Amino acid sequence: MKDFSALRDQVVTLTKQVGQFIFAEAQQFDMSKMERKGFNDLVSYVDKQAEEKLVAGLQQILPEAGFITEEGTSTEKGEEFNWIIDPLDGTTNFIHGLPIYSVSIALQQHQELVIGVVYDITRDECYHAVKGGGAYCNEKRISVSATPSLSDSLIATGFPYYSFDQMQKYLQVMGSFMQNCHGVRRLGSAALDLAYVAAGKFEGYFEFNINSYDVAGGAIIVQEAGGQVTDFKGGKDYVFGREICVSNSPKVQEEMLKLIEPFWKE
């Protein structure tokens, strides 16, 4: 049986090392080195080199594991274990000099998330969790907020930057949230949105057209901090289903899903 706590500790060390590389590159980044994967889908050499460093390090930590990576450094999947990696979540922020970006790593055993690490690079805060072991920021245990209702909650979301066919109904969803909570925020790093729910800074987060590597690391951290994680239908297809709804409590989760449902029917 794997010692997931020991593995987590090694992943935290690796993540911080790669985060320091990213932070150093941010001080001298040349925007002309930016590349486009698609409309508004940006990537830099920093994303690619950070992912290479992560893949190399994780291969040493758990050689039998496969990978699901954003930049395609490794596409070979494992039978039991897979690392799900976003080397730089918030690339657009990074490129523009906005200091809100992170590294996100999750380990999935079969269909279950067992380790999550999200490193808030510019704040030097590393959020991490092992299944059944609670959630932490650096060495301090964290938990979701005790805010009892959506009306008193601060909610995070993300805006679509391509695939705009569902934009109008998503704007309706956001409009409904604006009228039913303390406010809606868009930071530009889904992994940090999730980590901040786990730490009680947000009460909830929702987004569609989202990828597994954006949310896998943060999802288990929220769960281990006492929060709720589902897809828009209240189900479990939130890692690969491209939609996610997260909150601090079953009550707030129910309220959030009720706001989404009228606009998000099949």
CA 257/CA 266 separation, integer angstroms: 15
Q: What are the residue ranges spanned by the domains of the chain?
A: 4-142, 150-263
Q: Which CATH superfamily is domain 4-142 in?
A: Fructose-1,6-Bisphosphatase, subunit A, domain 1 (3.30.540.10)
Handedness of CA 125, 144, 118, 129 (dihedral sign): positive
> What integer pLDDT is reported at residue 75 of this predicted model?
75
Residues in contact with 74: Cβ distance below 8 Å, sequence separation at least 6, in sequence order: 55, 66, 67
CATH number of 150-263: 3.40.190.80
Domains 4-142 and 150-263 share a fold: no
Predicted pLDDT at 168: 84
Orientation of helix 212-224 relative to helix 190-198, angle to 10°: 0
**Per-residue tens of pLDDT for the chain, all 266 residues:** 789 999 999 999 999 999 999 999 888 876 666 665 544 444 578 888 999 999 999 999 999 999 999 877 777 888 999 999 999 999 889 988 999 999 999 999 999 999 999 999 999 999 999 999 999 999 999 999 999 999 999 999 998 766 667 778 888 999 999 999 999 999 999 999 999 999 999 999 999 989 999 999 999 999 999 999 999 999 999 999 999 999 999 999 999 999 999 988 75
Residues in the chain: 266
- Kindly state the tokens that stand for 117: 């690490």
Q: What are the start-end ranges of the E strands in the chain? A: 35-38, 41-43, 66-69, 81-89, 102-109, 112-120, 125-130, 135-137, 140-142, 154-157, 183-185, 204-208, 228-230, 243-247
pLDDT of residue 128: 98
